[in-house]
Amino acid sequence: MSNPGLPPSQVTTSVATFIARLRAVLAGALLNRYAGFLACIYLYSATIPKIGGLGEDSIPSSYVETALVLYLYYYFNTILRPSRVQALIAAIPIFLAYLGQDIYYMMYGRVFRIIELAEIPELLDILTPGFIALVVVVFLVPLLIFVFSINYRRVFAIAGGSLPLLLMAAAVEFFPNSYATAFEKVGNEIVTWSDQRSVENNGRFAMLFYREAQRVTAKQMTIPFRARTAYDHTAREFAGRIGNQRVNNNVHLIVMESLLDPTLFRGASFTTNPTHPDFARLFGNATGFSVSPVFGGGTSQAEFEVLCGVPAFRELGSVEFNAFTGAQAWCLPGLLKLAGYRTVASNAFKPNFFNAVPAYRGIGFGEAHFPQEYTGTTDTYLSIGDVSNENYMFDGTLFAQNLAFVANIVKDKQSPPILNYVLSIYGHLPHTLDNEKRPQVLTLIADHPDDQLERAANQYYYRTQAIAEYVNKLIDIDPHSLIILISDHLPPLQYGPNTYRDLRYLDNQENSRYLNRVLIIENGIAKHYPTIHHYDVPALVFNYLTAGTYCRENTCDFTQDRFIDNRVEYHTRYMSLMAHAAE
């Protein structure tokens, strides 16, 4: 029997209907893909703050950020080979970029900036094998999946689709001021005092480009501050006054890596007092506080403030040291060198860490010593000793070598006075203890346990013992001197800011995560000062060396918040210093 089939007109109509329905289905699928992606971004933004990440308002309140992530997601979908999981693979780089910024914020308490990509080698250099393995699994493997899923035959799609991103990057680099001005008009509020709030208002990607535009603008802004002849003249004039007025005493300035005082946690207790008895006898109630510019990391930022006497505004980058070229910036060491001091830096870690060699030279150190194991030379008095079970050079090992070095200088009556600057590294994450040399002496008792805190507390016991021994011997060989020990920043511990909040560090007073211990000994006597800032240290040194004249002439009132009161003056000094440091 023959099959008459459908009339041609009905066949045409059926095909057209099928195509229309197919288009509708594809359009719906396309819509669902992007709607699902945005829903996941919203869900991520709402969830990550609950574990300490950036706030939940990044996407919902920012049209710029929404447009950016949708563009990136569309672009990635376009260049990938079609597959059942294409929609998921296209989202990988975006979510990893979000996650990376939030992990950075949770660990270090500050918002990531593009320029900090330059710090990745230093970061990898200090990570333990376990952390490196975690980074590989969480970040590298998914990125490789994305890279190998790209259809590299779609040359025009890859090149053309990247054009908006390239144009934006070009605008940031070549027209930064115009870019920032335009962003401020279309974006939400930029909170000048809070990177976190600004990101919450405008989004992670949007603020990355905005902050980079600000950095490039700031670098251009240093041009008017470059006046080398006048800058050098002012430095020589100041150093001359210090030299004429100075008390001819040595200065010992020690910056301690993450010297966390566990007794300051109101919501934690320990089976044994974490403070060694020798330390308690030496300092009593004379321990004080200084406000660090950083939390959880960024030692060089603390060094910058301590040595240069201005706040670390991060105008030329996330780390000021990275902008130093070796040109004279006339910080504390350089000024003392002009005044006749021998200026010596002793760093317990690697010379390539945070651009230390050019930075120390520009800051004004006449000589810098690093452990011979890291330099490949014996032209240094430092050696790290046995660090096989602790990763980093123990404070006592560093202090013993520095003490012997200083003793030889003090014995030489013909030697000029010395600025003895020491930077420790023990106490760095992950706070490992050598159980044979330094067995556990205490246990943490808290409702919110933190293994890193417990180890840091045990380290503190041994560290305070080493400090007491060092300072007592330093007083014996150099009784008429100024000794300052200051913690660079608080360590991130296991759960970052959450541990400090949950265990009530300093009762969670405002900015408590930036309050670090400072110990000051003048002519063998421990002195207590009101809370200072790290950038007040040079003023303390100059005041001591001039028997109080410096502060009488410059009104050193350490009890007031001079950063707020004199922000413009500090910023001007900062820009002038950085303009010459970056020459």
Cα–Cα distance list, 387 to 379, 433, 540 (Å): 21, 10, 35
Q: Residue 2's pLDDT is what?
A: 44
Q: For residue 231, what pLDDT is reported?
A: 93
Q: Which two tokens stand for residue 140?
A: 């590298």
Residue in this structure with the two tokens 């251009």, named with its chain if needed: 220
DSSP string, 207-230: HHHHHHHHHHHHHHHTGGG--HHH
User: Alpha carbon 72 to chain centroid distance?
Assistant: 28
* 3 state SS of 520: strand
Question: What span, in angstroms and rounded, lies between the C-alpha atoms of 416 and 419?
Answer: 10
Q: How far apart are CA 222 and CA 323, in angstroms?
A: 12
Domains and CATH numbers, the chain: 13-221 (no CATH), 229-581 (3.40.720.10)
Of the chain, the end-to-end C-alpha distance in Å amounts to 95
Q: Give me the pLDDT at residue 429, please.
A: 87
pLDDT of residue 16: 62
pTM above 0.85, yes or no: no
Q: Which residue type is seen at 578?
A: M
Check: CB of residue 491 under 8 Å from CB of residue 452: yes
Cα distance between residue 215 and residue 195, in whole Å: 14
* pLDDT value at residue 124: 67
Along the chain (583 residues), what's the average pLDDT of each consecutive run of 10 residues?
A: 50 56 53 85 87 65 85 95 94 94 78 77 68 82 95 94 94 91 88 74 89 83 90 93 84 97 96 97 94 91 96 85 88 96 94 85 95 83 90 95 95 91 94 92 94 96 97 96 97 92 94 95 94 95 92 73 66 93 87
Q: Which is nearest to 319 in space by CA: 572, 114, 124, 580?
A: 114
pLDDT at res. 559: 56
CA dist 278 and 281 (Å) reads 5
Q: What distance in Å separates the CA atoms of residue 79 and residue 82, rounded to the nearest whole number?
A: 9
Which residue from 39, 60, 505, 561 is spatially nearest to 291, judged by alpha carbons?
561
What is the distance between the alpha carbons of residues 68 and 74, in angstroms, rounded to a whole number? 10
Q: How many CB atoms lie within 10 A of CB 344?
A: 21
- What φ, ψ does residue 520 adopt, rounded to 5°? -125, 125
| Percent of the chain as helix, strand, coil, to the nearest 5 | 55, 10, 35
Annotate 26-59 with DSSP letters as a single string.
HHHHHHHHHHHHHHHHHHHHHHGGGGT-S-TTTT
Distance, CA of 6 to chain centre: 74
The CB-side HSE value for 74 (13 A sphere, CA atoms) comes to 14
Residue 462 gets the label, from left (phi > 0), alpha (psi -120 to 50) or beta, of alpha
Beta strands in 352-480 (DSSP E): 367-369, 418-423, 444-446
Token readout for 312 is: 């670390």
Does an H or E element contain 346, and which?
strand 342-347
* pLDDT at residue 3, rounded to an integer: 47
Alpha helices in 109-154 (DSSP H): 120-126, 129-135, 141-148
